[in-house]
Amino acid sequence: MTQVIKKARKTGIDYKFNEYENLKQLKDYVDSTYDQHYSQTKYQSTDFILDCGHGEGFCLGNVLKYVQRYGRKEGKNRNDLLKVLHYALIALHVHDQEQVDEKTR
């Protein structure tokens, strides 16, 4: 039994679809984006797009882009799926932020 499965069992959940390991890999992927060339300054371009109020469309557009690209560019590229999930996480952030903003109006 792998160490990951042992850790997952500590949560009391018997994951059937490798969710524990995939979530860990997603976190590692997201962390790596903060070390890449487009995040070397204090702000990423995504920050500016969100500040302009275009976050939802930008994120969902990128989700669609990478879903459609999966299997076409460089074959079934796992990183395309990680990008889908990453942009979906940012879309969740935008959604939650908009909910907070609406409640404080």
Q: What confidence tens digit (pLDDT) does each residue in 32-65 have?
A: 988 776 666 778 889 999 999 999 999 999 999 9
Please enumerate in sequence order all residues whose Cβ is within 8 A of that of 8, keeping only pairs 6 or more positions apart, or say none: 14, 15, 20, 21
What's the whole-model pTM score? 0.83
Q: What is the dihedral of CA 52, 56, 57, 61, to 10 degrees?
A: 130
